[in-house]
C-alpha cells in the first residue's frame, strides 16, 4: 500500500529537513569552533580574551538582522525602553563570556551536559514563580537527567588538558563555577526577551537587531575598559588564523539562530527539543573523537542515562494526544505561502511570536537562543 503525499506535505518535509540539518550542522560547527579557539593553543599561545569572541558574534548578528529586517520590510526602529535592551544585553554578553571561559577549564562535553543539569531547577522555579505543575513522568525524566549528569561529573575526568594550570581538580572547580554562573545569567535572558515581545510586540529581526547592537556595545566597552581589545588584536596579528576561526564561529551562531526560530515557528517546540537532543549527542561524540578526551566506562553509562531520558521525553511528547502536548507540537505559523520556506510566510511576519514567548516542554522553559547555542 503506497502512501500518497500532496505538494504541501512534501513542502513541509523539505523545509523540516532543512531546519533539522541546519540546526545540527550550524551548532556542530559552533561547538567545534568554541573548543578549538578556547582550549587548543595557537602555536604555543592560548587565546584568553573571550569577550572578543562575544563582540565578533554580536557584530555579525547585527548586520544579519539589519539586512533581514530590510528584506522582510520589518520595522527596525527602537520600540521598547532602553533599560530592557540593556538588561538582556548585559545578561547575554556575560553569560556567553562565562560559557567560553569555562572551556579553559572543562571539556566541551561537560559544558554541553551542564546545560541539561538545569532541567530540575527550572521546574522548581516554575512552581515557585508561575505556580506551574508537572506530572510524575516529567519529574522522573528530570531526575534521570540530573542523576546522569551528576554521575558523569563524579565518575571520570572533566577538566580540559589545556587548563591554565596542571591542577585538574582546580580546573574542574573553576569550570563548573563558570557554568553555574552562565546558567544563572542565561536564566535572566529569556524572561526579559519574553517581556519585550509581549509588551512591545517586537518583530523577530527588530529584537535581534537591537539586542545584538546593545550587546556589541557592552562587549566593546568591556574590551576597552579591561584592555582586552589590545590583547585580542595583538593575538590576531601574531596568529592570523584566529580571525578566520572567530568569523566561522560567528557565522555559525547567526545561522543557528535563524534555523532555531524558524523551526519553532513552523513545527513547534517539541520538534525543536528533539532536534536539540540529537545535536547534543552528535556534538559530544564529535568532540571526544576530534579532541581525544578521555572517558571512563561509568561516564559512558551516565551519558546513556541522560540521553535515554531526553529521547524518551521527546518521543513521549510527540506521540502524546494530551491537549498540552498537542499545543507544544503545533506550529506557531499555521499557513504557508507556496514556493517559500514556512518561516517566510506572511503569517510569520504578523504573528508577533518568537522563541522567547513560545512555551517549551517542561524543563526547557528557560532556553533562549543564546543558550541553545
Of all residues in the chain, what percent carry a pLDDT higher than 70? 79
Q: For 358-368, what is the mean pLDDT?
A: 45
pTM (2 decimals)? Answer: 0.77
* Domain of 339, in residue numbers: 10-372
Asked if 332 contacts 265 with a C-beta cutoff of 8 angstroms, the reply is yes
Residue 18 lies in a domain: yes
Residue 5 lies in a domain: no
Count of structural domains within the chain:
1
> What's the CA gap between 178 and 198, in Å, rounded?
31
Mean pLDDT of the chain: 80
pLDDT at 303 > cutoff 80: yes
> pLDDT, tens digit, for every residue of 254-280?
999 889 878 877 887 778 888 888 898
> What's the CA gap between 267 and 333, in Å, rounded?
8
pLDDT at 347 > cutoff 60: no
pLDDT at 48 > cutoff 60: yes
pLDDT bin (cut points 50, 70, 90) of residue 352 is: very low
pLDDT bin (cut points 50, 70, 90) of residue 337 is: very low
**pLDDT at residue 325 in the model:** 62
Residue 2 lies in a domain: no
**pLDDT at residue 207 in the model:** 81
pLDDT bin (cut points 50, 70, 90) of residue 214 is: very high
> pLDDT, tens digit, for every residue of 53-65?
999 999 999 999 8
Q: For 16-21, what is the mean pLDDT?
A: 92
**Unique residue bearing C-alpha cell 531526575:** 143
**pLDDT at residue 223 in the model:** 96
Residue 343 lies in a domain: yes
Positive or negative: CA dihedral 61, 251, 106, 118 = positive
Asked if 223 contacts 49 with a C-beta cutoff of 8 angstroms, the reply is yes
More confident call, 65 vs 352:
65
> What's the CA gap between 195 and 118, in Å, rounded?
22
Could you tell me how many helices (H) and strands (E) the chain has, helices first? 15, 0
Q: Pull the grid cell for residue 21.
A: 540539518
pLDDT at 343 > cutoff 80: no
Residue 316 lies in a domain: yes
Q: Kindly report which listed range (109-113, 222-226, 290-294, 321-325) carries the lowest average pLDDT score.
A: 321-325
Rank 39-48, 78-87, 118-127, 267-276 by mean pLDDT and report only the highest.
39-48
Q: Pull the grid cell for residue 264.
A: 519553532
**Unique residue bearing C-alpha cell 512534501:** 10
Residue 1 lies in a domain: no
**pLDDT at residue 355 in the model:** 41
Asked if 329 contacts 270 with a C-beta cutoff of 8 angstroms, the reply is yes
End-to-end CA distance of the chain: 42
> pLDDT, tens digit, for every residue of 224-259?
999 999 999 999 999 999 999 999 999 999 999 889
> pLDDT, tens digit, for every residue of 151-206?
898 888 888 765 554 555 667 788 889 988 988 887 777 667 767 777 777 777 88
> What's the CA gap between 109 and 132, in Å, rounded?
31
Residues β-bridged to residue 159: 106
Residue 297 lies in a domain: yes
Q: For 3-25, what is the mean pLDDT?
A: 81
Q: Pull the grid cell for residue 190.
A: 529569556
Residues β-bridged to residue 20: none
**pLDDT at residue 372 in the model:** 55
Max CA distance (Å), the chain: 69
Residue 4 lies in a domain: no
pLDDT at 330 > cutoff 80: no
Q: For 9-26, what is the mean pLDDT?
A: 88
More confident call, 317 vs 338:
317
Q: Pull the grid cell for residue 116.
A: 541539561
> What's the CA gap between 370 and 99, in Å, rounded?
10
Amino acid at each position: 500500500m503506497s502512501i500518497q503525499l500532496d505538494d504541501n506535505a512534501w513542502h513541509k518535509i523539505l523545509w523540516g529537513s532543512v531546519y533539522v540539518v541546519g540546526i545540527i550542522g550550524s551548532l556542530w560547527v559552533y561547538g567545534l569552533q568554541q573548543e578549538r579557539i578556547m582550549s587548543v593553543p595557537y602555536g604555543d599561545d592560548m587565546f584568553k580574551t573571550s569577550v572578543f569572541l562575544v563582540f565578533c558574534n554580536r557584530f555579525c548578528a547585527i548586520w544579519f538582522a539589519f539586512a533581514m529586517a530590510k528584506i522582510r520590510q520589518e520595522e527596525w526602529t527602537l520600540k521598547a525602553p532602553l533599560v530592557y535592551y540593556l538588561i538582556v544585553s548585559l545578561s547575554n554578553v556575560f553569560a556567553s563570556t562565562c560559557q567560553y571561559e569555562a572551556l579553559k577549564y572543562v571539556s566541551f562535553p561537560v559544558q554541553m551536559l551542564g546545560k541539561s543539569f538545569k532541567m530540575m531547577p527550572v521546574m522548581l522555579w516554575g512552581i515557585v514563580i508561575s505556580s506551574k505543575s508537572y506530572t510524575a513522568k516529567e519529574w522522573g525524566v528530570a531526575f534521570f537527567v540530573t542523576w546522569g549528569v551528576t554521575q558523569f561529573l563524579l565518575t571520570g575526568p572533566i577538566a580540559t588538558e589545556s587548563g591554565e594550570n596542571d591542577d585538574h581538580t582546580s580546573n574542574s572547580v573553576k569550570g563548573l563555577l563558570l557554568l553555574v554562573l552562565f546558567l544563572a545569567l542565561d536564566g535572566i535572558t529569556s524572561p526579559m526577551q519574553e517581556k519585550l515581545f509581549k509588551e512591545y510586540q517586537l518583530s523577530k529581526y527588530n529584537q535581534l537587531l537591537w539586542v545584538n547592537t546593545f550587546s556589541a556595545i557592552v562587549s566593546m566597552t568591556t574590551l576597552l575598559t579591561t584592555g582586552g581589545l589590545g590583547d585580542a588584536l595583538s593575538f590576531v596579528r601574531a596568529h592570523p588564523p584566529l580571525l578566520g576561526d572567530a568569523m566561522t564561529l560567528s557565522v555559525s551562531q547567526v545561522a543557528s539562530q535563524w534555523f532555531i526560530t524558524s523551526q519553532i515557528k513552523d513545527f513547534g517546540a517539541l520538534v525543536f527539543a528533539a532536534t536539540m537532543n540529537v545535536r547534543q549527542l552528535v556534538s559530544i561524540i564529535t568532540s571526544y573523537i576530534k579532541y581525544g578526551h578521555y572517558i571512563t566506562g561509568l561516564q559512558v553509562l551516565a551519558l546513556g542515562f541522560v540521553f535515554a531520558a531526553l529521547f524518551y521525553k521527546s518521543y513521549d511528547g510527540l506521540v502524546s494526544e494530551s491537549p498540552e502536548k498537542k499545543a507544544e507540537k503545533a506550529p506557531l505559523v499555521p499557513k504557508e505561502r507556496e514556493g517559500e520556506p514556512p518561516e517566510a510566510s506572511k503569517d510569520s511576519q504578523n504573528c508577533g511570536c518568537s522563541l522567547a514567548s513560545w512555551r517549551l516542554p517542561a524543563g526547557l522553559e528557560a532556553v533562549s537562543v543564546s543558550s541553545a547555542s
